Amino acid sequence: MIPNSLMKDISIGIIGGGLMGREMASAFARWCAMADVTVRPVLTAVADLNPATLDWFKIIPSCTQLVTDYHALLANPAIDVVYVAVPHHLHEKIYLDVLAAGKDLFAEKPFGIDLPAAERILAAVKSSGRFVRCSSEMPFFPGAQRAFSIARGGEIGRVLEVVSGFHHSSDLDPTKPANWKRRNVTCGEGGVLNDLGMHACHVPLRLGWKPQRLFAQLQKGYPTRPDGQGGTTPCDTWDNASLSTWCSIAGQEVPLRLEMKRLAPGATNTWFIEILGTDGGVRFSTAEPKTLWIFERGKEQWWKRTELGFGTPFKTVTGGIFEPGFPDVIQQMWAAFLMERAGQLDGRFGCATPEEAVATHEIFAAALRSQAQGSVVAVPA
């Protein structure tokens, strides 16, 4: 066990203190749970346009710089790493400003509003030499980690098919007011692809399973919603996406289905993956956060169920039989980011790379082309 007092402090600034900005701040505040990392994030500054949003951060003693103009945060020489969680149309400008200020960057997905923006960000990352990763926390669930290592280990034989997805249902309620995620101008033409696509693509991409061609079925939700001020406002984003793709695994063409849905009845932030092979298979869903299903082919065929408990990649003070949740995997993702930045990842699962983020956008752009043409399209290699 490494005590917090021996960890190296890393000063963090957050740009965008909304839903995700607060989630990250609370993960830092509970860092005493971490037992085998050598680094500790210390929230130093937050920038948000909304002064009322900044007020929430006053409960964090180390967070002494609260500003409405993010340039003031970037000018703070004490800050090592900047995490940015703002609407998608602002990603490119703010990410480039962070890099130009000489800071390392933990970027939110989708890493730019579209493929050209993501490519420009990647070029800036390369020329800056800064350490940059993209947020994608779901693979840090113990069940997802096991699914990844089973798939990588090859014990399931020839892979027959893969399904990876992310479902929620908050858009089913027509009275839910629209926010920036319901408009193409702020969320991007990709809509739900931009919103949930990284979650579905991250593990397949890390396994080297990038789609080579795909057919997309995209669906819109309600065309208007309350605007939160007594009126209504148009909503033009794609809300559901099912991508039937083909990827190459061990020289075989394998169907890989990617599902991203904001209109999935009954689902609340449900991330899932299923990988089936000729000799075995594995299935995990955050709907059952400590449960892993493993298929074994023998004389009889078995789906075996086990309860994994708290087998996270980075050890914590939490008892091994307890169940993990969203705030835990957010903290694990930060541990991976900071330990990889320190050169101490030691073979553990790393955060999504800028190259993987660009690859997701190549998939999303192909999906938009497929939907427009009604045909199968190629995805750039």
Ligand X SMILES: NC(=O)c1ccc[n+]([C@@H]2O[C@H](COP(=O)([O-])OP(=O)(O)OC[C@H]3O[C@@H](n4cnc5c(N)ncnc54)[C@H](O)[C@@H]3O)[C@@H](O)[C@H]2O)c1
**Residues of the shown chain interacting with ligand X in the complex, contacts defined by CB under 6 A:** 15-20, 47-50, 53, 70, 85-88, 90, 108-109, 135, 137, 195
Q: 142 or 197, CB closer to ligand X?
A: 197
CB of 198 to ligand X, least distance (A): 8
Q: Which is nearer to ligand X, 99 or 294 (CB)?
A: 99
213-220 and 224-226 strand pairing: unpaired
Q: Which residue has the tokens 């957010």?
A: 330
DSSP 71: H
Residue 112 CB, shortest distance to ligand X, in Å, is: 10
Is the Cβ of residue 110 or residue 280 nearer to ligand X in the bound state? 110
Question: Which residue lies nearest ligand X, judged by its C-beta?
Answer: 18
Instruction: List the structure tokens of 220.
Output: 């819109």
Cβ-based neighbours of 225, under 8 Å, separated by 6 or more = 174, 176, 177, 178, 182, 232, 233, 235
75: how many CB neighbours lie within 10 A of its CB?
12
Shortest Å distance, C-beta 229 to ligand X: 16
* 81, 11 Cβ separation under 8 angstroms: yes
In contact, 292 and 146? CB cutoff 8 Å: yes
As a whole number of angstroms, the distance between CA 256 and CA 101 comes to 40
Name which of 90 and 160 has its Cβ closer to ligand X. 90
Give least dist CB 69 to ligand X, A: 8
* Beta carbon of residue 354, minimum distance to ligand X (angstroms, whole number): 15
Q: Pick the closer one to ligand X by CB: 16 or 324.
A: 16
In the complex, the smallest distance separating the C-beta of residue 73 from ligand X, rounded to whole angstroms, is 9
CB-wise, 34 or 94, nearer to ligand X? 94
Nearest-angstrom CA–CA distance, 367 and 369: 5
Give dist(CA 293, CA 132) in Å, integer.
34
| 234: β partners | 224
